[in-house]
């Protein structure tokens, strides 16, 4: 039977980039860890690591073993999380992945229907879509909210659906909005500082096409992955910014922001992605049902 302790030592060596750093992390002797990895190679019958400069690198078999080890130990961490939750009577856990580029204010609006759930434990993780989908496949996430649907991949057993397509409006500090209104919207955007989402998200591409269609060359002074952070900088006077109508209710938390105009034809899409095994998660289903209604 596979010795999982040996596998764990091999996994740490690869993640740390060598035996010395692995030994430091594990507070063990280098020779001990090296011997454990050799035992693993002996039991598998394949060389997993080979010298590379002052460190080591994986062989082809080593890459296969590392990928499986990643899955095994991530599942182990998920098991511990689930057992901790199971030990706390009445805890309602919802783990949500928010992809880079998605409007965090809009995401908050979508999650609002479950925020008053008694004994709620909400975990929100941000990251690249590919990483979040791998976490979803390992059942470490119950739901992923992304600005585009899941890619077509037979190995990804996920359900993907478009939740909303929210119109996009422009906001800015009251004084700047008042002065800009004289030039008329949207052409005033060529003369005032503009904040935009980064190119991580699909919304940026839609806004770029809208600027081109309107014949506007914006004076971009800031780019943000987080819409909430963008709103804070706008409220401090840095510039005007676009925001999906869905997340506009939270702007009441920031004083002094005013509506400037609507980017006609531009919408921010948000897609919900779930694993097939997790499609009956009660809180995730409640979020989706509220969005559809």
pLDDT tens, residue by residue, 207-218: 999 999 999 999
CA-based nearest residue to 105, from 7, 292, 9, 242: 242
What would the two tokens of residue 165 be?
Answer: 């397509």
**Residue 51: beta bridge partners?**
56
Spell out the alpha helix ranges (H) of the chain. Answer: 4-16, 19-26, 30-44, 60-86, 104-111, 129-137, 174-180, 202-214, 227-235, 282-292
Going from the N-terminus, what domains does the chain have, and what CATH number goes with each?
4-71 (1.10.10.10), 84-164+271-292 (3.40.190.10), 165-267 (3.40.190.10)
Taking only the tens place, the pLDDT of each residue in 227-240 is 889 999 999 999 99
**Cis before residue 186, ω within 30 degrees of 0?**
yes
> SS3 for 98?
strand
Per-residue confidence in pLDDT tens, the chain, 293 aa: 789 999 999 999 998 889 998 998 888 899 999 999 999 999 999 999 998 887 889 999 999 999 999 888 878 877 776 666 655 556 788 999 999 888 888 999 999 999 999 889 899 998 888 888 888 877 788 999 998 888 876 566 788 899 999 999 999 998 888 888 777 899 999 999 999 999 888 899 999 999 999 999 999 999 998 888 999 999 999 999 999 999 888 888 788 899 999 999 999 999 999 987 777 889 999 999 998 88
Q: Quick one: pLDDT at residue 84?
A: 64
What would the two tokens of residue 62 be?
Answer: 């080593």
Instruction: Tell me how crowded residue 225 is: count the other CB atoms within 10 A of its CB.
Output: 17
> pTM for the whole thing?
0.67
């Amino acid at each position: 039977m596979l010795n999982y302790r040996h596998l764990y030592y091999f996994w740490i060596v690869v993640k740390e980039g060598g035996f010395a750093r692995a030994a430091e992390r594990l507070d063990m002797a280098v020779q001990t860890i090296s011997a454990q990895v050799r035992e693993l190679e002996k039991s598998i019958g394949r060389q997993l690591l080979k010298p590379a400069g002052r460190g080591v690198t994986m062989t082809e078999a080593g890459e296969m073993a590392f990928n499986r080890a990643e899955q095994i130990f991530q599942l182990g961490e998920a098991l511990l999380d689930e057992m901790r939750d199971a030990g706390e009577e009445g805890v309602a856990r919802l783990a949500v992945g928010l992809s880079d580029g998605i409007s965090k204010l809009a995401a908050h609006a979508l999650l609002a229907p479950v925020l008053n759930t008694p004994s709620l434990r909400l975990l929100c993780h941000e990251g690249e879509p590919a990483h979040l989908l791998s976490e979803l496949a390992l059942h470490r996430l119950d739901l992923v909210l992304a600005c585009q649907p899941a890619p077509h991949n037979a190995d990804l057993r996920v359900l993907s659906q478009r939740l909303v397509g929210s119109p996009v409006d422009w906001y800015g500090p009251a004084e700047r909005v008042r002065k800009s209104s004289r030039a008329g919207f949207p052409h005033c955007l060529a003369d005032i500082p503009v904040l935009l989402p980064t190119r991580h998200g699909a919304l940026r591409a839609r806004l770029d096409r809208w600027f081109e269609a309107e014949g506007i060359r914006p004076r971009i002074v800031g780019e943000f992955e987080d819409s909430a952070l963008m709103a804070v900088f706008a409220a401090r006077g840095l510039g005007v910014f676009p925001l999906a109508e869905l997340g506009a209710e939270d702007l009441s938390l920031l004083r002094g922001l005013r509506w400037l105009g609507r980017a006609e034809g531009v919408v921010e899409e948000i897609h919900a992605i779930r694993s097939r095994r997790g499609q009956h998660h009660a809180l995730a289903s409640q979020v989706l049902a509220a969005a559809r209604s």
